Amino acid sequence: MFDKISGRIRWRAPVAVVAGVVLLAIPLYADRFWLNLGSFAFAAAIGAVGLMILVGRVGQLSLAHSFFLAVGAYGYIWLSSPGTEDSWGLGLPSLLAAVIAVTMAGLAGLAFSPLAGRLKGIYLGVASLALVFIGQHVLFAAEPLTGGYNGRNVPELTIGSFQVLGVEPELSLFGVPLRQAERGWYVTLLVLVLTTVFAVLVLRSRVGRAFAAIRDGEVHAAALGVPVARYRSVAFTLSSVYAGLAGVLLALLFQRVVPEYWDLFLSLEYLAMVVIGGQASVAGAIAGAAFVSSLPLLLQRYSDAVPGMGGAVSDFGPAYVAQILYGGLIVVILFYEPKGLAALATRARKALTPRRAVPAERTPAS
């Protein structure tokens, strides 16, 4: 046992250090495109980790993730914008607005707990569809909040006169100026690291064990004293907090948001991230998020190089290819390798450290 653990630590520490150095150094070399790609991936990964907890660790399906992302995004816009005649806003300091917006997403998730606690698995998945459609309706109807079809600008995040994701005051690192793209990379990466550590600690605790017990056998869990309904709604609330945080960050990165973005397809994208990542793995969810959120941007950029995809003229544009790929990957991964990308990592680790069996993370049984 001690061998195994020290083996894993010996393994993990250098990998983590190297990965950390690379991630911190990238903004010094990469251009705006790649930095933006990274920032979006980090923000999406926060949302994906939240959904992974619910789907992979508790065995509850939610298709409402886009709703909670929207609560975070529009909560932030509403709280931080100065109000005008035809657009709502409270004009709060933006950092405070961000914190309250994330809390709002959590409260929205908590408010759903009469259903999130009682409904199981797929049933919750269908019920949660309601939030997406009600949310879409509200977003299009509440023009003073969202600006309707035209969308609405997102106020900058500032602390005093410091533009967290802007250019003022000028900063530089090793002679490289830190502007929007560089700051976006570092800020989203920092938030991702903090929230990932938080998630890992929760999943390793009695709370995480209760989650897994509900997934593996809810009746047995209850008979051992685990309040099943309470933990189901705790997980749902936690996952909506993560979605809200991702929503705030995405809004800040977009700088302008439109209601139609937060639709059912966005929820399915997050589900794809979780499934591709292997459902129950934190690292897998992050990798899945990186893949799914980067794919359309990469296709956009390189579509001219692929015969037949040629930009906007073709039927087989980047959006088409991306959707077919997410949908197809959900099918293929569940069919051939339910542990997704996490399984690849496990295999690589096994190949590199023979004879040391590493307990694999498991996917929901049924």
Partner 1 sequence: MAQLLSMLVEGASLGAVYALVALGIVVIYKSSSVVNFAQPSLLMFGTYVVASATSLHGLSFWVALPLGVAAAAILAVLIDRLLVSRFRKTNAVVAASIMTIGLDVVLLTETDRRIGSQILTTDDPWGNDVVRFLGIGVAEARIAALVVGALLLVLFQLWLHRSDFGVAMRATAEDPETASLMGIRLGRVSATAWAVAGALAVCAGLFIVAYPSPGLDTSVEAVALRALPAAIIGGLDSTTGAIAGGLMVGLSEVLVRGYGEHLAFLGQGFEEAAPYVLMLVVLLVRPAGLFGIREAVRV
Partner 2 sequence: MTAHGTTAPGARLEVSDVTVRFAGVTALDSVTFTAEPGTIHAVIGPNGAGKSSLFNVLSGIYKPAGGSVRVDGAELIGLAPHRVTGLGVGRAFQNASMFAGLTVEENLLLGRHRLGRGGVFGAGLRLPHMRRSEREARAKVRQVAEFLGVDHLLPLPAAELPYGEAKRVDLARALATEPRLLLLDEPAAGMHTHEKLAVRDTIRRIATEQRITVLLVEHDMGLVMGISEQVTVLDFGQVVLTGPPDQVIADDAVIAAYLGRAGAAEKERSESEPPS
Contacts with partner 1 by CB under 8 A lie at 59, 61, 63, 114-115, 118-119, 121-123, 125-127, 129-130, 133-134, 136-138, 140-142, 219-220, 223, 265, 268, 271-272, 275, 315-316, 320, 323-324, 326-331, 334-335, 338, 363-366
What's the Cα-to-Cα distance from 47 to each of 40, 92, 114, 247, 266, rounded to whole Å? 11, 25, 23, 8, 11
CA distance 39 to 184: 6
Return the number of the residue (177 or 327) whose C-beta is nearest partner 1. Answer: 327
Distance CA 291, CA 276 (A): 9
For residue 338, the SS3 value is: coil
Closer CB to partner 2, 179 or 215, in the complex: 215
DSSP three-state, residue 308 = coil
User: Are 47 and 247 in contact, with CB atoms under 8 Å apart?
Assistant: yes
The nearest distance, CB 222 to partner 1, in angstroms, is 10
Which of partner 1, partner 2, none binds 349 (CB below 5-8 Å, type-dependent)? Answer: none
Task: Please say which residue, 210 or 257, places its beta carbon nearer to partner 2.
Answer: 210
Of residues 33, 22, 41, 169, the one with CA closest to residue 177: 169
Instruction: Tell me if 210 contacts partner 2 by CB under 8 A.
Output: yes
DSSP strands (E only) in 141-268 = 152-153, 158-159, 162-163, 172-173, 176-177, 256-257
With CB cut-offs between 5 and 8 Å by kind, which of partner 2, partner 1, none does residue 1 bind? partner 2
The two tokens of residue 263 are 């639709």
216-255 residues near partner 2, rule: CB under 8 A: 216-217, 219-228, 234, 238
216 binds, among partner 1, partner 2, none (CB under 5 to 8 A by kind): partner 2
The token pair at 290 is: 């990186």
Site membership for partner 2, residue 97 (CB under 8 A) = no
Binding characters for partner 2, 333-362, by CB under 8 A (x = yes): --------------------------x-xx
Q: Residue 235 CB, nearest distance to partner 2 (Å)?
A: 9
**Residue 23 CA to its chain's centroid (Å):** 18
Cβ distance to partner 2 smaller for residue 236 or 270: 236
Measured from the CB atom, is 104 or 154 closer to partner 2? Answer: 104
* Rounded Cα–Cα distance for residues 298 and 293 (Å): 9
Distance of CA 46 to the CA centre of its chain: 4
Query: Which of the choices partner 1, partner 2, none does residue 111 contact, using the CB cut-off of 5 to 8 A by kind?
Result: none
Q: How far is the CB of 74 from partner 1 (least distance, A)?
A: 15
Which tokens in the block code for residue 189? Answer: 């990466």
- Cα gap 193→79, rounded to integer Å: 26
Residues 6+ positions from 355 with CB-CB distance below 8 Å: none
Instruction: Name the residue nearer to partner 2 (CB basis): 178 or 222.
Output: 222
Among residues 33 and 149, whose Cβ is nearest to partner 1?
149
Q: How far is CA 118 from CA 111, 112, 215, 280, 363, in A?
A: 13, 10, 14, 22, 22
Q: What is the spatial distance between Cα 169 and Cα 360, in angstroms, rounded to a whole number? A: 47
Cβ–Cβ < 8 Å for 244, 36: no
Q: Taking CB under 8 A as the rule, does residue 212 contact partner 2?
A: yes
| Residue 206 interacting partner from partner 1, partner 2, none (CB closer than 5 to 8 Å by kind) | partner 2
Residues 129-188 interacting with partner 2 (rule: CB under 8 A): none
Considering the rule CB under 8 A, would residue 365 count as an interface residue with partner 2?
yes
Question: Site residues (CB under 8 A) for partner 2?
Answer: 1, 4, 198-199, 201-202, 204-210, 212-213, 215-217, 219-228, 234, 238, 280, 359, 361-362, 365
